[in-house]
Structure 1
Amino acid sequence: MSKLKIAVQKSGRLNEDSMALLKDIGISIDNGKDQLKASAANFPLEVFYLRNGDIPQYLRDGVVDIAIIGENVLIEKGQELVIAERLGFSKCRVSIAVPKASKAKCLKDLQGQRIATSYPNTVNQFLEQNGITAQLHIINGSVEIAPNIGLADGICDIVSSGSTLFKNGLKEVEVLLKSEAVLAVSPSISKDNQKLLEKLQFRIQSVLRGQNSKYVLLNAPNDKLEEIISVLPGMKSPTVLPLAEKGWSSVHSVIDKNEFWEVIDELKEKGAQGILVCPIEKMVL
């Protein structure tokens, strides 16, 4: 029987988020300590635990069929690889930073400067597009120390909260790109494994829709029902049920979590009462 081979980062936050997603979509993986490969107990899936920077080559070579990987790594090492799904977690940005005492305040101030980075392809392309010439020092790991030891005038690295920059006396002057975890696909994936991938994507999409939505229940006076329903688009249309109290109805719907407070405020203004909001584990369309 064919098995879908997926690569995930060996350790770190992206590993934790990736394994949490697989658990959320109902895949049970028995992974012993320091194990580099593991099989799912309830889905034809093998998980390979790899160094993040090596994953694009494994996809290219067809060693793995798919991978959960940071988009920033794909941009640096595998721009030709196809993204099947944007996953919405492990968000970060690739930024240029300089010492706080530096006079550089924007990109043009980096003309002729020395930049230390683990992302030379990304930085070179960005600088060329903006007509800036700089000298790159390629460093793998601990890039932020380069200005402090006189190796570079600035750095280009991934930034999440910005706390690492702060601790090393650095400030951001330019954001090159924003990144999140994505599901990337090997160009040589087989037809059988493509079908397995489609099943996996269906589960992932159901989980992501649930994470991005809220289930809302409320009580509405019947004379305001039409106005209240107009605020609730839902998946198709809200569910409306009569209450025991005459002249009132119960309305059930789904709203986007990013529009949550604006919608709730509008519902209250239009007369909705007893508003109950619940998380959604999965939403299957």
Structure 2
Amino acid sequence: MSARLRIAIQKSGRLADKSLELLEAAGLRVLKGANELLYRIENAPIDLLRVRDDDIPTFVGDGVADLGIVGLNVLEEREDGRSAEPEQVMALGFGKCDLRLAAPIGFAYNGPRSLQGLRIATTYPHVLNRFLTENGVTADIITMRGAVEVAPRLKLANAICDLVSTGATLEANGLAPLDTVLRSEAVLIRAPRKIDPELEKVAESVVQRFKGVTSCRGAKYVMMNAPRAVLPKISAILPGAGSPTVTPLAGSDDMVAVHAVCQESVFWETLEELKAAGASAILVLPIEKMM
């Protein structure tokens, strides 16, 4: 196969390392060559284009890259109108943060209408404008390229709209969060054009592997023995599990083996509840791969 699938990822920043970790968790061996802009996958016909995060939607929309990994905040902010809109394939479960409104501590906030006529500094003018429009608010949006949190202190704006993960930066600058404009995380996007038929199976394999990695992140495989009569109670206790697999135990008409994949965390309290419901020999195992 001479053609190679192209995946655009962030060259540096908060999603760069996580994107490489995802690829490696999906069994794709990354070869880091001398060219920092282009990495290759050793065991599949795939090239990695390492670019600025705000260039990724354009690369994918223009068909320069077939797939891309980018923050939803960057994808939603893109409004250049020069290329087709990339298709959002799936959320990837990392790089989570919120685009939030914030103002100096003590600001009287009773909903978006409290911002009417004020000046709001942000690096996400399109997303903010959409939020304000949806809420019937007219405000003066001040576009900045960084250090948004200092705008109120410098009297450039009354409030800000910026990405928040822990809130420590807001607190350090005397700001308090007001409202959430957008909940963001890394997403996989796909070019709107048809991918080379020779590479369509490769692209589908990448998507399925990513789904396998994300679906087993934090998931546990739970096994136990229990009386058949308490199965409804046990099913209700298991966190984030579908219908469990139930198998009769040899030499017993009443006892069964119960196996289930739990998509949510299994705590010690969960085991205690299962034990109290009648379960025994409870095992909780990590899941490395799932498809």
TM-score, normalising length: structure 2: 0.87
Deviation of 1:195 (Å): 2.6
The superposition leaves residues 100-133 of structure 1 with CA deviations (integer Å, 9 ceiling, x where unpaired) of 1433453211111111111111111111111111
Aligned pairs (5 A) from 1:20-169: 20-32=21-33, 35-77=36-78, 80-169=85-174
Instruction: Determine if contact 2:88/2:188 at 8 Å carries over to the other structure.
Output: yes
> Aligned residue for 1:204?
210
Structure 1: distance between partners of 2:5 and 2:269: 42
| Secondary structure of 1:166's aligned partner | helix
Unaligned runs of 5+ residues in structure 2 are none
Instruction: Determine if contact 2:92/2:186 at 8 Å carries over to the other structure.
Output: yes
Instruction: Determine if contact 2:85/2:192 at 8 Å carries over to the other structure.
Output: no
> Aligned residue for 1:280?
287
Letter in 1 for 2:143: I
| Secondary structure of 2:222's aligned partner | strand
Structure with the higher fraction of residues in helix conformation: 1
Is the alpha carbon distance of 1:63 and 1:238 closer, same or farther for their aligned partners in structure 2, counting shifts above 3 Å? same
Deviation of 1:216 (Å): 0.5
Unaligned runs of 5+ residues in structure 1 are none
- Equivalent pairs counted in the alignment come to 283
| Secondary structure of 1:13's aligned partner | coil
| Secondary structure of 2:103's aligned partner | strand
Letter in 2 for 1:281: E
Letter in 2 for 1:28: R
Q: Indicate the RMSD between aligned Cα atoms, in angstroms.
A: 2.7
